[in-house]
């Protein structure tokens, strides 16, 4: 199929990340630091049928890969039914879920049954106490239990998202990397991106070269060759380890020139760049009865307005929205 979603810089946009809710059962310190959590009114959140219509239009234009995220996607009722309907959109070759894992265990059998295999689970620490400090909720055992069950059931790849937090989990990054010696997990270290009003002590993010050198203090890392559907992580593994290590250096070594993403926010806006506040309203047209071609036109405009690169390293204002509402 031909991809019509090609931007001004010749990037082919085939990946849609969908935030299905802004609601979350955790309050992670990096997600919307220093901001009151503003909940979107229920009626402004896209209904599943509305999202499915937009995905079908996107798929006809060239979207082949979809990630469902949030907020916390599993707090929204009917998430698995929605995922099942996504699996019936024939152009979609890759459907995955990003979750904090708190509610995951009970949903695993259904997810497996409908054919979802790729999971990204956020877990920034191996310490139950620190987990509570980072997320506000004492749910470490539940999350780690879900990860074990998912591995036993054969979900793969299971990616563990770890945001590297100066002064909080920086002393256990090597320990988290050691998990890959025992489990086939992909542990991905993510540079903290500036969202909300970050407290001054966390304003200097821990950058990938520093994170990497802490991990290489355990053992040498060997690069893993890239695959066609790879995301922005630079992939490595320790010799003979079943798992992998990844680095997502959105701040220090941006990967904008390979960016193939568009985001659909929970309240129905197409967001061309995670790190820019610019977005296009597609919900109003959708709810006013617009034809598929009109909605397709909004997809094309969103792609056409994708910036060449984000402005984090050139002094531009960081995004003001809440990560939870955008989807990460």
161 touching ligand SAM, by CB under 6 A: yes
- Least distance CB 213 / ligand SAM (angstroms): 20
Hey, which bits of the chain come out as E strands?
Answer: 15-19, 65-69, 94-99, 118-122, 158-164, 186-191, 221-223, 234-238, 244-248, 261-264, 269-271, 280-281
**Phi, psi (5° rounding) for residue 324?**
-60, -30
Distance (Å, rounded) from C-alpha 292 to C-alpha 269?
Answer: 16
- Least distance CB 102 / ligand SAM (angstroms): 9
- Least distance CB 192 / ligand SAM (angstroms): 4
Q: Which is nearer to ligand SAM, 57 or 96 (CB)?
A: 96
Q: Which is nearer to ligand SAM, 100 or 146 (CB)?
A: 100
- Least distance CB 98 / ligand SAM (angstroms): 4
Q: Is 50 exposed, middle or buried (0-12, 13-18, 19+ CB in 10 A)?
A: middle
Q: Which is nearer to ligand SAM, 14 or 99 (CB)?
A: 99
Among 62, 70, 231, 319, binds ligand SAM (CB under 6 A): 70
Distance (Å, rounded) from C-alpha 223 to C-alpha 235?
Answer: 6
The token duo for 252 is: 């220090």
Distance (Å, rounded) from C-alpha 255 to C-alpha 231?
Answer: 10
| DSSP letter (8 states) at residue 12 | B
Q: Which is nearer to ligand SAM, 24 or 54 (CB)?
A: 24
111 touches 136 (CB < 8 A): no
328 touching ligand SAM, by CB under 6 A: yes
CA end-to-end distance (rounded Å), the chain: 28
Distance (Å, rounded) from C-alpha 17 to C-alpha 121?
Answer: 15
x/- contact string, 114-153, with ligand SAM (CB under 6 A)?
A: --------x-------------------------------
Q: Which is nearer to ligand SAM, 231 or 324 (CB)?
A: 324
- Tell me the longest C-alpha to C-alpha distance in the chain: 58
- Least distance CB 24 / ligand SAM (angstroms): 6
Q: Which of residues 163-192 bind ligand SAM (CB under 6 A)?
A: 163, 190, 192
Bridge-based pairing of strands 269-271 and 280-281 is: antiparallel
Which range in 98-106, 213-221, 265-273, 282-290 contacts ligand SAM by CB under 6 A? 98-106
- Least distance CB 121 / ligand SAM (angstroms): 7
100 touching ligand SAM, by CB under 6 A: yes
3 state SS of 96: strand
Closest CA to 261 of 8, 5, 69: 5
Q: Which is nearer to ligand SAM, 7 or 22 (CB)?
A: 22
Q: Which is nearer to ligand SAM, 180 or 192 (CB)?
A: 192
HSE-up of 127 (CA within 13 Å, CB side)? 11
Distance (Å, rounded) from C-alpha 142 to C-alpha 130?
Answer: 14
x/- contact string, 14-53, with ligand SAM (CB under 6 A)?
A: ----------x-----xx----------------------
195 touching ligand SAM, by CB under 6 A: yes
Which range in 3-11, 52-60, 66-74, 278-286 contacts ligand SAM by CB under 6 A? 66-74
Q: How many residues bind ligand SAM (CB under 6 A)?
A: 19
Among 98, 169, 260, 265, binds ligand SAM (CB under 6 A): 98
Which residue ranges make up the site for ligand SAM (CB under 6 A)? 24, 30-31, 69-70, 72, 98-100, 122, 161, 163, 190, 192-193, 195, 323-324, 328
């Amino acid at each position: 199929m031909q991809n019509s979603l090609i931007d001004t810089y010749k990037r082919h946009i085939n990946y849609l990340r969908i935030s299905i809710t802004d609601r979350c059962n955790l309050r992670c310190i990096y997600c919307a630091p220093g901001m009151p959590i503003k909940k979107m009114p229920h009626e402004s959140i896209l209904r599943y049928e509305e999202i499915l219509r937009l995905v079908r239009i996107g798929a006809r234009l060239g979207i082949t890969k979809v990630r469902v995220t949030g907020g916390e996607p599993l707090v929204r009722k009917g998430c698995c039914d929605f995922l099942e309907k996504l699996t019936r959109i024939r152009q979609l070759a890759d459907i995955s879920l990003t979750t904090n894992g708190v509610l995951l265990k009970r949903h695993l059998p259904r997810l497996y049954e409908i054919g979802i295999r790729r999971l990204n689970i956020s877990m920034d620490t191996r310490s139950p106490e620190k987990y509570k400090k980072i997320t506000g909720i004492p749910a470490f055992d539940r999350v780690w239990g879900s990860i074990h069950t998912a591995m036993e059931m054969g979900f793969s790849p299971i990616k563990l998202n770890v945001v590297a937090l100066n002064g909080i989990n920086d002393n256990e990054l090597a320990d988290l990397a050691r998990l890959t010696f025992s489990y086939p997990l992909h542990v991905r270290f993510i540079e903290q991106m500036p969202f909300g009003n970050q407290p001054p002590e966390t304003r200097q993010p821990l950058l990938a070269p520093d994170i990497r050198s802490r991990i290489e203090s355990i053992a040498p890392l060997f690069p893993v060759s890239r695959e066609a559907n790879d995301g922005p992580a630079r992939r490595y593994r320790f010799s003979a380890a079943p798992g992998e290590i990844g680095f997502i250096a959105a701040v220090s070594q941006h990967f904008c020139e390979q960016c193939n993403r568009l985001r659909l926010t929970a309240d129905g806006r197409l967001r061309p760049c995670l790190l820019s506040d610019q977005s296009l309203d597609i919900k109003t047209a959708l709810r006013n009865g617009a034809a598929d071609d009109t909605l397709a036109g909004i997809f094309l405009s969103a792609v056409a307005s994708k910036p060449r690169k984000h402005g984090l390293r050139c002094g531009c204002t960081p995004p003001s929205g809440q990560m939870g509402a955008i989807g990460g």
